Structure 1
Amino acid sequence: MLYKKTYLVDDPVSNLFLVHGLGEYSGRYIDFIKKLNDLNINVYTFDLPGHGNSPGKRGDIKSFYEIYSFIDEFAPDDFILYGHSLGGLISARYSEMNLKKPKKLILSSPALGDIAQKKLLLTIMSVFPSLSFSNGIPPKEISSDDTENKKYIEDPMIHDRITVRTAKQMFDEAEKALKEIKKIEIPTILLYGEEDKIINKFEYEKINNDKIKIFNFRLGKHELMNCKYNSDKYFEKIKDFII
């Protein structure tokens, strides 16, 4: 059973479902969630399999499609979907499917398109699907704020593990997400930092969908919500979009 958590307010004006990124967990977003609660927005979130408080081998997601089904079941009927990094990929793919549609979509530094590293090696190693290795995320590239990077490194709930089957699914789903991007028919914003070296931001140039508005942030790295240059502007963009 996946760990899930709700942050509810007395008089909600909207609901937001949050999907976190690779190697982290939903609890890292508590400051962001509090800002949303201050806007009278209910927040629903969970920890991915093998992440945070959810069970499973660290970094092992056996089926992305089970996650899509979980969102469909756990999300309220009327909701905005927010995903960061791997969570952005999951949120994009979910929105492309014939499932319960969010009314709006927020993609924060999403992993879309060609993000594959060591793809040939993974194919060779596919006979060992549960074999784990480092996810290759360099902590110094997480944020433009060194204090945030230090917190990331020292957080015992964060890990750098990923299994062969998780990586293969992630690469495949990222390519499908970009290929089927036209299927997103709801208002969408995509936000990313110009200095992001964790995702392949150049793939965003291939997006051809007038429902998706793309915003880039100068000097921003992967986590714009923790950026010393752009965190306020990042939240204002989201606030303007959802209110």
Structure 2
Amino acid sequence: MKHLETSYKTHDGIELYLQAWMVDTPTASLLLVHGLGEHSSRYMHLVEKLNDLGVSVFTFDGRGHGKSVKGEPTAYFESYEDYLKDIDALFGKVKSFVPGVPAFLYGHSMGGGLVAAYVLDFKPEAAGVILSSPAIKEAEGTSKLLIAVGGIMSKYFPKFKALKLDASKVSRIPSEVEKYLKDPLVYTDPIPARTGNELLIMMRSIQAKANEFDRPVLLIHGSADSLTNPKGSEILFERARSKDKILRVFPGGYHELINDSNREEVIDVIIRWLKERI
């Protein structure tokens, strides 16, 4: 396994931190898109299993996240559509860097929503898509007033810290929650108004176009996930026109399934799904 680190300048001049874990004779490639507030180095235990399968893994710290920020992370970005352009440029690099093998996409949480939106808007040549706890539907009972206020805040006070997420809902394992809270590259303050509003716009767009989703897809979600709504995964699963689609809901599972109580089972589901499609 060879670890590479570099940076990429986006279409609007932002420097993003990139890293890859390469295998000598890859059977496939995969671009991994992390979740809201976190960063790409939190997936090492999954990367090792993917490398063992012969998959070269590429990932990056998104706008406002991790090492792509000078100073402390902010979780701020102007537009989710800019983020989709980043994913498109980087997926293109993955396929040119590892040519002639199937190329997969993996997205968790916000990253799952972004990958779903990317597939719907850009129609990439992806061999398959894995969506872990994807952000596709807002929380049940979100009031129209709150949504309207969020839109106003996004426009006039975009960096206002608007929405606090409950870190204790990340995992049922207390040490994993502690690790998350103590990681200096994880953003744990309230989410900026613009970021939250852009994610809402993104989720609405995915719901509206879900019947156009046609890639092979594995959706995984915890039934007790209170950070992203499991109903979003059900909506995409039901509406997608993909002939090859699987939804696995893990009973009692929290948000970060690969860091939760039954993580070995979850990672095994991911690896087996990939193995069957390489």
Tell me, in whole angstroms, the C-alpha distance in 1 between the residues paired with 2:232 and 2:132. 14
Deviation at 1:110, TM superposition (A): 0.3
Which amino acid is 1:4 matched to?
L
Segments of structure 1 that go 5 or more residues without pairing to the other structure are none
Within the candidate set 146, 151, 167, 2:174 is matched to 146
Q: CA RMSD in A?
A: 1.8
Partner of 2:4: none
String of CA shifts for 1:131-187, please: whole Å, max 9, x gaps: 231542211110011110111111111112422221111001011112211221111
Q: Is contact 1:8–1:42 with CA below 8 Å preserved after alignment?
A: yes
String of CA shifts for 1:8-53, please: whole Å, max 9, x gaps: 0111100010000000000111111111111111001001111100
Q: Is contact 2:22–2:56 with CA below 8 Å preserved after alignment?
A: yes
**Is residue 236 of structure 1 aligned with residue 260 of structure 2?**
no
Deviation at 1:240, TM superposition (A): 1.4
Partner of 1:65: 81
Tell me, in whole angstroms, the C-alpha distance in 2 between the residues paired with 1:70 and 1:99. 15
Partner of 1:167: 196
1:6-45 alignment, distance < 5 Å: 6-45=20-59
Which amino acid is 1:231 matched to?
R
Within the candidate set 201, 209, 217, 2:250 is matched to 217
1:147/1:134 Cα in 2 relative to 1: closer, same or farther (>3 Å)? farther
3-state SS, counterpart of residue 179 of structure 2: helix
Which amino acid is 1:175 matched to?
R
Q: Is contact 2:153–2:160 with CA below 8 Å preserved after alignment?
A: no
Tell me, in whole angstroms, the C-alpha distance in 2 between the residues paired with 1:156 and 1:46. 17
Tell me, in whole angstroms, the C-alpha distance in 1 between the residues paired with 2:183 and 2:195. 22
Segments of structure 2 that go 5 or more residues without pairing to the other structure are 1-14, 96-101
Q: If the length of structure 1 is used for normalisation, what is the TM-score? A: 0.93
Tell me, in whole angstroms, the C-alpha distance in 1 between the residues paired with 2:27 and 2:167. 36
Which amino acid is 2:250 matched to?
F
1:43-192 alignment, distance < 5 Å: 43-55=57-69, 58-75=74-91, 76-77=94-95, 78-115=102-139, 118-133=146-161, 135-161=163-189, 162-192=191-221
String of CA shifts for 1:36-82, please: whole Å, max 9, x gaps: 11111100100111110012761111122222122222222341000
**Worse-superposed segment, 196-205 or 1-10:** 196-205
Tell me, in whole angstroms, the C-alpha distance in 2 between the residues paired with 1:79 and 1:4. 17
- Count matched residues: 242
Partner of 2:7: none
Q: Is contact 1:128–1:164 with CA below 8 Å preserved after alignment?
A: no
**Worse-superposed segment, 170-179 or 95-104:** 95-104
Q: If the length of structure 2 is used for normalisation, what is the TM-score? A: 0.82
Deviation at 1:99, TM superposition (A): 4.3
Tell me, in whole angstroms, the C-alpha distance in 2 between the residues paired with 1:240 and 1:210. 22
1:109/1:122 Cα in 2 relative to 1: closer, same or farther (>3 Å)? same
Q: Is contact 2:32–2:60 with CA below 8 Å preserved after alignment?
A: yes
Tell me, in whole angstroms, the C-alpha distance in 2 between the residues paired with 1:152 and 1:55. 18
Q: Is contact 1:113–1:176 with CA below 8 Å preserved after alignment?
A: no
Tell me, in whole angstroms, the C-alpha distance in 2 between the residues paired with 1:32 and 1:22. 18
Q: Percent identity?
A: 30
**Worse-superposed segment, 118-127 or 47-56:** 118-127
Q: Is contact 2:37–2:188 with CA below 8 Å preserved after alignment?
A: yes
Tell me, in whole angstroms, the C-alpha distance in 2 between the residues paired with 1:23 and 1:7. 22
